[in-house]
Amino acid sequence: MDHFIYQDNTLYAEGCRVNDLAQQYGTPLYIYSRATLERHWHAFNNAVADHPHLVCYAVKANSNLAVLNVLARLGSGFDIVSGGELARVIEAGGDPAKVVFSGVGKTVAEMEKALNLGIYCFNVESSAELEQLNDVAGRLGKIAPVSLRVNPDVDAGTHPYISTGLKENKFGIAMDEAEVVFARAHALPHLQVKGVDCHIGSQLTEIQPFLDAMDRMLALIDRLAEQGIVIEHFDVGGGLGVTYDDETPPHPDVYAAALLARLGDRKLKLIFEPGRAIAANAGIFVTQVLYLKENSDKRFAIVDGAMNDLIRPALYSAWQNIIPVNPRNEQAQVFDIVGPVCETGDFLGKDRALAIAAGDLLVVRSSGAYGFAMASNYNTRPRAAEVMVDGDKAYLVREREKLAQLWQGEQLLP
Ligand SMILES: Cc1ncc(COP(=O)(O)O)c(C=O)c1O
Ligand SMILES: N[C@@H](CCCC[NH3+])C(=O)O
């Protein structure tokens, strides 16, 4: 069930009118639906049913504290990639014992913090990181739980910028080195080998690449067992795609069933790191049309939201649906929806057929993941406010930045 639907010619976010939220909090504005976040998380968690597992929401997709808090209350785990994300998970009430720490560049300070909090596992991405983690753990008198992220060299069939599982990508340990690095991890005194991890990319709409990666990982796990290295969990990463346009990604039930079938009778605990599948369609981005403008071959709608707020169209040529909050019963015309930022790449959508006038509100759908999380202050624009709706209530979960806040900590020369 969609929680962003029209009633009486006006768009609602759950029980709240988007017009009212835009009026109250101003635009550009992100709106998230608690019910959708919960439904998506349960869809994942229920898909794996009673097989031992942990759903670790990928915080990078949307790290708003209220979003994290909604998921923490469901008992979610979290996949983090920085000390900042770890701090936010803790602030939001997340359980550090359900945190996995991914990323190719963990610093000593981040390792210390995570060890002191007692996270579930470090997903280690190189031999150098492994040695560093062993040293840090030894210094703190701790044993670091580790999983090695192995690069399976499979083509995820997604945008090259968000494909991570090919051998030319910077992520993970090469398959042909994996056994040597596992043996080293096993031998190091301040590490405990727990798992094998892989993540092959984002916005995957087919199951096959996941299964190809899994087959390679399971073969590795079997070879490790022969060497006496017992693996407790297999972290399948994130990457399950969503529908932005006409994509038909597998439902979590189908995806999980396919993975479980591949597992056979192995007793491995499964860890999932979904980000987009939970957050993308739980959020919308609301922007107001400032001006309409026409030149000899293009019609533009200049809106108050821009690439600094939502960079996916500019960065990946990503297509996200753009709809009016109050549809007009008039002839549609074709517009490029562009922001005020001084870049030709500053567009939210191109060639969209819409009936609109200055002052109208537009919604960019599927903006809950990699929307606000990738926002910047480019062109010294304050970042948008964020609102969470819960039935007919709405909560401001992050204020719009004020210009003065942008200058916090900045100084003139003496
Ligand atoms: C290690 C890791 N885990 C999980 C994710 C989340 O991916 P997605 O949002 O596609 O589920 C990412 C991002 O691609 C990632 O790099
Ligand atoms: N930011 C990307 C996804 C990257 C996933 C992070 N590993 C997107 O918006 O599609």
Q: What is the pLDDT of residues 200-215, one digit of tens each?
A: 999 999 999 999 999 9
Q: Provide the pLDDT for residue 378.
A: 97
Domain membership flag for residue 316: yes
User: Residue 226 burial (CB < 10 Å; 0-12/13-18/19+)?
Assistant: exposed
pLDDT confidence band for 388 (50 / 70 / 90)? very high
Q: Please give the Cα distance from 190 to 89 (Å, whole number).
A: 25
Q: Going by CA atoms, what residue is nearest to atom 16 of ligand 1? A: 199
Are 356 and 213 members of one domain? Answer: no
Q: Please give the Cα distance from 115 to 104 (Å, whole number).
A: 17
Average pLDDT of the chain to the nearest whole number: 96
Assembly ipTM: 0.98
Binding site membership of 4 for ligand 2 (Cβ less than 6 Å): no
Are 141 and 193 members of one domain? Answer: yes
Q: How far away, in angstroms, is 339 Cα from ligand 2 center? A: 21
Residue 15, SS3?
coil
Looking at the CA of residue 60, tell me the nearest atom of ligand 2. 6
Residue 50 neighbours by CB under 8 Å, 6+ apart: none
Domain membership flag for residue 134: yes
Q: Is 239 annotated as a binding residue?
A: yes
Q: Provide the pLDDT for residue 202.
A: 94
Q: Provide the pLDDT for residue 161.
A: 67
Are 393 and 340 members of one domain? Answer: yes
Q: Look at the chain and report how many structural domains it folds into.
A: 2
Looking at the CA of residue 149, tell me the nearest atom of ligand 1. 1
Are 401 and 391 members of one domain? Answer: yes
Are 104 and 14 members of one domain? Answer: no
Of the chain, the percentage scoring pLDDT greater than 90 comes to 93
In this structure, how many other beta carbons lie within 10 angstroms of the beta carbon of residue 380?
Answer: 9
Q: What is the pLDDT of residues 325-353, one digit of tens each?
A: 999 999 999 999 999 999 999 999 999 99
CA 245 → CA 38, 242, 249, 274, distances in Å?
22, 9, 11, 20
Cα 19 from chain centre: 27
Q: Provide the pLDDT for residue 410.
A: 94
Q: How far away, in angstroms, is 203 Cα from ligand 1 center? A: 9
Among candidate residues 124, 111, 140, the one with its CA nearest the CA of residue 186 = 124
Q: Is 275 annotated as a binding residue?
A: yes
Mutate which of 59, 370, 374, 376 for ligand 2? The one with the most ligand atoms within 8 Å of its CB, which is: 370
Binding site membership of 203 for ligand 2 (Cβ less than 6 Å): yes
Domain that holds residue 149: 34-276
Give the catalytic positions in this structure: 342
Report the CATH number at residue 293: 2.40.37.10
Q: How far away, in angstroms, is 330 Cα from ligand 1 center? A: 42
Domain membership flag for residue 412: no
User: Residue 301 burial (CB < 10 Å; 0-12/13-18/19+)?
Assistant: buried
Q: What is the pLDDT of residues 223-249, one digit of tens each?
A: 999 999 999 999 999 999 999 999 999
Beta bridge partners of 373: none
Domain membership flag for residue 27: yes
Q: Going by CA atoms, what residue is nearest to atom 8 of ligand 2? A: 370
Report the CATH number at residue 122: 3.20.20.10
Q: How far away, in angstroms, is 275 Cα from ligand 2 center? A: 9
Q: Provide the pLDDT for residue 262.
A: 94
Q: Provide the pLDDT for residue 165.
A: 66
Q: What angle do CA 161, 164, 168 make, to 5 degrees?
A: 90
Are 306 and 158 members of one domain? Answer: no
Domain membership flag for residue 233: yes
Beta bridge partners of 10: 7
Domain final residue pick, 276, 309, 328: 276
Element housing 101 (H / E): strand 99-101
Binding site membership of 370 for ligand 2 (Cβ less than 6 Å): yes
Q: Going by CA atoms, what residue is nearest to atom 1 of ligand 2? A: 370
Q: Is 274 annotated as a binding residue?
A: yes
Mutate which of 122, 273, 278, 366 for ligand 1? The one with the most ligand atoms within 8 Å of its CB, which is: 273
**Mean pLDDT, residues 280-298 taken together:** 96
Are 395 and 322 members of one domain? Answer: yes
Q: What is the pLDDT of residues 115-166, one digit of tens each?
A: 999 999 999 999 999 999 999 999 999 999 999 999 988 877 777 766 666 7
Q: Which residues does a 6 A CB cutoff place in the pocket of ligand 1?
A: 58, 61, 79, 102, 199, 202, 237-240, 273-277, 369
- Residue type at 260 in one-letter notation: L
Q: Provide the pLDDT for residue 292.
A: 98
Q: What is the pLDDT of residues 85-112, one digit of tens each?
A: 999 999 999 999 999 999 999 999 999 9
User: Residue 281 burial (CB < 10 Å; 0-12/13-18/19+)?
Assistant: buried
**Mean pLDDT, residues 366-391 taken together:** 98
Q: Provide the pLDDT for residue 171.
A: 82
Are 19 and 49 members of one domain? Answer: no
Q: Going by CA atoms, what residue is nearest to atom 4 of ligand 2? A: 162
Q: How far away, in angstroms, is 48 Cα from ligand 2 center? A: 24
Q: Is 88 annotated as a binding residue?
A: no
pTM of this structure:
0.97
Three-state SS letters, 35-46:
HHHHHHHHHHHH
Q: Is 262 annotated as a binding residue?
A: no
Among candidate residues 152, 144, 199, 143, the one with its CA nearest the CA of residue 178 = 152
Angle, helix 208-226 to helix 175-187, in steps of 10 degrees? 40
| Strand order through the sheet with 16-17 | 4-7, 10-13, 16-17
Q: How far away, in angstroms, is 52 Cα from ligand 2 center? A: 28
Q: Provide the pLDDT for residue 153.
A: 84
Binding site membership of 202 for ligand 2 (Cβ less than 6 Å): yes
Domain final residue pick, 226, 250, 276: 276
Are 28 and 65 members of one domain? Answer: no
Binding site membership of 106 for ligand 2 (Cβ less than 6 Å): no
Domain final residue pick, 259, 276, 293: 276
φ, ψ of residue 313 to 5 degrees: the values are -60, -45
In this structure, how many other beta carbons lie within 10 angstroms of the beta carbon of residue 136?
Answer: 21
Are 111 and 197 members of one domain? Answer: yes
Q: Please give the Cα distance from 263 to 275 (Å, whole number).
A: 23
Domain membership flag for residue 61: yes
Beta bridge partners of 387: 31, 396
Q: How far away, in angstroms, is 369 Cα from ligand 2 center? A: 8
Q: Is 343 annotated as a binding residue?
A: yes
